[in-house]
Structure formats: structure tokens, C-alpha cells
Amino acid sequence: MSARVLAGPPVAAALLADAAARASRLPAQPNLVIVSVGDDPASLSYVRGKSRKAGEVGLRNTVHALAETTTQAELLTLIDTLNRDDDVNGILVQLPLPAQIAEAAVLHAIDPRKDVDGFHPLNVGELWAGRPALTPCTPAGIMFLLEHHGVPVAGARAVIVGRSHLVGRPLAALLLNADATVTVAHSRTRDLGSVTREADILVAAAGTPGLITPDMVKPGATVIDVGINRVLKPDGKGHLVGDVHPDVAGVAGALTPVPGGVGPMTVAQLLANTVRAAELQHAARADLEAAGEFVR
């Protein structure tokens, strides 16, 4: 028997349709600013994809493509300008950044109300406290995908392989907030297979091609593959493969493909977060106006 395929694009389309409908009810089109630094081809391609999709759902957006040699001070100056601009609802800095720029300094500088990536410590703290927050896009997209496909989360044993700030850690908080019993495994976990075999929901986010093999999966489990690994196959061509070995399809109950699984959810969730940020900013302004406060 082969696992049910949890395809991303139709679910991403549903999320985008909802974001577009909510955006159309706002007094102004939400405005997203995307900042990239350097020439990494994959990053530039993700940025183009985000900008294109934003336009498709009716969001205003601007891309600042900065040179590889950009200094941290220059990037922080740009972020300060964007923070102060009331017409900007969302700010995203594409990762990774070149070595001369400290990622934490940049992510901490973004106004948490415009932090559509959900990486600012204030948003991270709210998420772990179980309160509403702007939430990192890949983990939030995975939760939407699970819900859309009717995968039960409450009471499920969830195992995440990978403890990154982009995926593993925030996804652990989201699954915990949704009443799953969560284990985070990583490169130092002993006997990884004995841990992963416990999982009703297994998330592979380690960045290691084919790490999860059929013997590591409980029969019938839902397996979410977050890996995006570019490898050279024997045919001499470059291919995109996940962290989950293809033979896992014979054991799992449901499986996300790579490509076409979690990746499209990341972009859709970014645009949903941008609309959410705009909604919250408009509501805060309306509250101030109702209280007779001066609003710029």
C-alpha cells in the first residue's frame, strides 16, 4: 500500500484565497517589503516567488535586492526606515544572510508588529506562551496542511527531527499549543529510529537527504518532509530531494512530497501573515482614533 499524498499546492491555494478575501476588506491593500542580501540563486528564486504570489493575491510589494557586500549598519538603517513607514505592513529579510551580518541583530531590529516571518523574540515568546502571534511561515503552513487534510493533532505523538529556529522549534510550540505530545530530536539524539517510530506525526526537518528510512516510521504515520536538498543523481542531473527516503511511502499512512508539499505552504503562509499584520495594524489605529488620540 502506498501513502496518501498530502499535496501542498491545492491547500496553499485555499490559504491564499482566504488571505485575498481578507485583504479586500481592509481600507488599503496590505504592503509587504522583502529584503534580500547577496546573490544566492535559491534565495533570489524564493524572493521572486514571494513577490509574484503577493501580486497575484492583490498585495502591494517591493523587493530590495541588496549587494553581497552590504554592511550590517546599512541593512539596519533600511529596516529602521521601513519600521517608521506607516504604509509598510510587513517586512521580511530573506535568510540566510552573508557572514558579515549578524542574523539575530537584524531579526531583532524588525518592528514585531511588521515581523511577518515571526522571528522577532517577542513573537517567539508569545508563541511559546500559547498566545496569538505572527508565526514562522513553514511551521504555520504545516499546521494548516495537517488541519486541511484532517490529520488529528490533539493527543497525537509528534516527533520533529531538527531544532532550527525556522522550523523545528516553532513547530514544536505550535504542535504543543494544539495539544500534541511533542518530542524534538536532533543530530545528537541517540538511537533516532527508536524515537521516530513512536510518532503518529513525524516531521523531518534536518536537511539530510533520505535521513528517514522505512524502518524508522510507524506503519500508518503521517510524515511531513521539510527537506529541500539539491543533489546530483546518477543521471548527472541536479534533483530536489527531501529528508525522507522514497520507500517510506510504503509504510506511512500519509506523506508530503518534495517538491510540491511543504514549500508552497511557506509562501502562502507569508502572505496570510502579511494580511494578519495589516489587519492588526488597522485595528490598533482605529482604536487610537476612537479614543481621540492623534494618529499620523
Ligand X SMILES: Nc1nc2c(c(=O)[nH]1)N[C@@H](CN(C=O)c1ccc(C(=O)N[C@@H](CCC(=O)O)C(=O)O)cc1)CN2
Stretch that binds ligand X, among 93-101, 216-224, 243-251, 271-279 (CB under 6 A): 93-101
User: Given candidates 16, 201, 216, 258, which one binds ligand X under the rule CB under 6 A?
Assistant: 258
Interaction of residue 110 with ligand X, rule CB under 6 A: no
Q: Is 287 left (phi over 0), alpha (psi -120 to 50) or beta?
A: alpha
Which CB, 26 or 65, lies closer to ligand X?
65
* Shortest separation between residue 46's beta carbon and ligand X, angstroms: 4
Taking Cα atoms as reference points, which of 47, 52, 289, 6 lies closest to residue 148?
Answer: 6
Which CB, 222 or 273, lies closer to ligand X?
273
Interaction of residue 111 with ligand X, rule CB under 6 A: no
Interaction of residue 63 with ligand X, rule CB under 6 A: no
Three-state SS at 118? coil
Report whether 228 belongs to an annotated binding site.
Answer: yes
14 contacts: CB under 8 Å, gap ≥ 6: 148
Question: Any catalytic annotation for residue 94?
Answer: yes
* Shortest separation between residue 8's beta carbon and ligand X, angstroms: 6
Stretch that binds ligand X, among 123-131, 157-165, 169-177, 256-264 (CB under 6 A): 256-264
Interaction of residue 117 with ligand X, rule CB under 6 A: yes
Cα separation, 141 vs 123, whole angstroms: 17
Report whether 55 belongs to an annotated binding site.
Answer: no
Three-state SS at 258? coil
Cα separation, 76 vs 71, whole angstroms: 9
User: Given candidates 94, 123, 135, 274, which one binds ligand X under the rule CB under 6 A?
Assistant: 94
Taking Cα atoms as reference points, which of 142, 140, 134, 94 lies closest to residue 116?
Answer: 134
Which CB, 57 or 192, lies closer to ligand X?
57
Give CA angle at 193 (189, 197), nearest 5°.
Answer: 120
Q: Which three cell numbers stand for residue 117?
A: 516571518
Cα separation, 139 vs 166, whole angstroms: 8
Residue nearest to ligand X (CB): 263
User: Given candidates 7, 20, 26, 95, which one binds ligand X under the rule CB under 6 A?
Assistant: 95
Number of residues that bind ligand X (CB under 6 A): 18
Stretch that binds ligand X, among 14-22, 180-188, 217-225, 254-262 (CB under 6 A): 254-262
Interaction of residue 33 with ligand X, rule CB under 6 A: no
Cα separation, 222 vs 44, whole angstroms: 32
User: Given candidates 221, 249, 267, 278, which one binds ligand X under the rule CB under 6 A?
Assistant: 267
Which CB, 52 or 84, lies closer to ligand X?
52
Question: Any catalytic annotation for residue 117?
Answer: yes
Give CA angle at 16 (12, 22), nearest 5°.
Answer: 150
SS (H, E, C) 56-110: HCCCEEEEEEECCCCCHHHHHHHHHHHHHCCCCCEEEECCCCCCCCCHHHHHHHC
Which CB, 156 or 205, lies closer to ligand X?
205
Is residue 65 within 8 Å of 36, Cβ to Cβ? yes
Question: Any catalytic annotation for residue 114?
Answer: no
Catalytic residues: 50, 94, 117
Annotated binding site: 162-164, 228
Q: Which positions touch ligand X (CB under 6 A)? A: 46, 92-95, 117, 137-138, 166, 228, 240, 258-260, 263-264, 266-267
